[in-house]
Structure 1
Amino acid sequence: MEDLVTDRLLLRTWKEDDYKDLYEYAKSELVGPNAGWMPHKDEDESRKIIKMFIRNNETYAIVLKSENKVIGSIGLHDRKPDNNLLKLNQKEVGYVLNPRYWGKEIVPEAVKSLVDYGFNKLNLELIWCAHFDFNNNSKRVIEKCGFKYKFKRFERLKLLNNKEVTTLYYCIFRTEYKNNLRISPNVMDLYDSDYNKMSKELLE
């Protein structure tokens, strides 16, 4: 992964000495359960997670440049939620943010940078994003970044003691991104038409 830089943020690979910053927010009940995992019990758990991040090489540390501090994570993951679109080159965006920095438009800034990287550097054709039905903050971020709702799925979260949740899935195609379409009722129709057309073509 190459580092990504925005006005306020640096998205970079994780370092083992980031564990204190990770634990600061990963221990919060406001973070893990909203993303599908239990809060970290101690700093050792955060150390182990960072080693996994480094090994998998698909998750960035979100660094706030003004503080030189890791305040969250974001990644492009190898997931394909829609079986009708398996042939497309695609990934799913996932993110979490330290609650101290909520409400500052940080996640949209990071997501937009990663989406741009995915379409322009990785040549992705489709990018997904999802949230649980109880996470309205994430819903607002996803919609603000131009993703459009497609379907929902009932799931059990193994990392949360098999808790039953409803996951809402959103996506954006590279063609939509390249056209830089504005969000409006008419554009919604275009998005739905593009999605349905692509699904039909891949099934034929």
Structure 2
Amino acid sequence: MNMLQTERLTLRPPTSDDAESIEALASDVDIAKTTLNIPHPYPKGSAKTFVSTVLEAEKAGKLVIYAIEKKTDGALIGMINLNIQSSHKRGELAYWIGKPYWGKGYGTEAAETLIKYGFEKLHLNKIFAASFTNNPGSWKIMEKIGMKYEGTLRQHVMKWGSYVDLAYYGILKEEYDRQNSKQRID
């Protein structure tokens, strides 16, 4: 898998060396409450298992996953991935950014880059994403990167014993091409 570069970030394959940083960031209750699959409390030592599991899924062609790292100091600040559904030529974008790095545009920068990779290198036809409706930070990123609101699935998932609505956003290859005709990955 290729490393991807942005102005301020490096998106690179995660390694077992990232486990400690992943655990430290994902242990924040505010991260867990905005995601479906991050538990709270985050089990000590489980990030190593997470990394090995996602790397196996990637080898099987089901996933493209990156650790998000700041170029200035090499700090891991979050994770981003595309869950690939190759029979439909689509991918589901998912990401989280550690709370100390919220509000700085890192999520938008990483998501733009992975969308570009998904369309230009993986040749996907559609990329979509879901967000808890009570997590505007996430769905605002989706809007900033050109995704269009497609609808809300009411009480679609359960988080911590309560039903949660999911807002779905998506972008088609043809829409991406119109928006980004001058910016290509070499």
Tell me which interval the TM-score lies in, with the shorter structure as reference length. Answer: 0.7 to 0.9
Q: 2:73 is matched with which residue: 67, 75, 84?
A: 67
Tell me the secondary structure at the aligned position of residue 30 of structure 2: coil
Query: RMSD over aligned Cα, in angstroms?
Result: 1.8
CA distance in 1, matches of 2:28, 2:178: 39
Whether 2:31 is the aligned partner of 1:44: answer no
Could you tell me which amino acid in structure 1 is paired with residue 157 of structure 2?
R
Tell me the secondary structure at the aligned position of residue 49 of structure 2: helix
CA distance in 2, matches of 1:6, 1:43: 32
1:4-36 per-position Cα deviation (integer Å, ceiling 9, x unaligned): 111111111111011111011110111122111
Structure-2 residue corresponding to 1:14? 14
What runs of 5+ residues in structure 2 fail to find an aligned partner?
59-63, 181-186
CA distance in 2, matches of 1:62, 1:45: 19
- Give the superposition deviation at 1:78: 3.0
Could you tell me which amino acid in structure 1 is paired with residue 132 of structure 2?
F
Q: Count the aligned residue pairs.
A: 173
Structure-1 residue corresponding to 2:177? 178
Tell me the secondary structure at the aligned position of residue 117 of structure 2: helix
TM-score (norm 1): 0.79
Higher helix share: 1
Higher strand share: 2
Could you tell me which amino acid in structure 2 is paired with residue 104 of structure 1?
K
Whether 2:102 is the aligned partner of 1:98: answer no
Whether 2:174 is the aligned partner of 1:168: answer no
CA distance in 1, matches of 2:157, 2:176: 32
Could you tell me which amino acid in structure 1 is paired with residue 164 of structure 2?
V
CA distance in 1, matches of 2:42, 2:65: 21
CA distance in 1, matches of 2:85, 2:102: 26
The 5 A counterparts of 1:140-151 are 140-151=140-151
Q: Which has the larger radius of gyration?
A: 1
What runs of 5+ residues in structure 1 fail to find an aligned partner?
81-86, 182-204
- Give the superposition deviation at 1:137: 0.8
- Give the superposition deviation at 1:65: 1.3
TM-score (norm 2): 0.86
1:91-142 per-position Cα deviation (integer Å, ceiling 9, x unaligned): 1100000100111100110011001111111111111011111101112111
- Give the superposition deviation at 1:42: 3.9
**8 Å CA contact 2:69, 2:75 repeated in 1:** yes
**8 Å CA contact 1:90, 1:127 repeated in 2:** yes
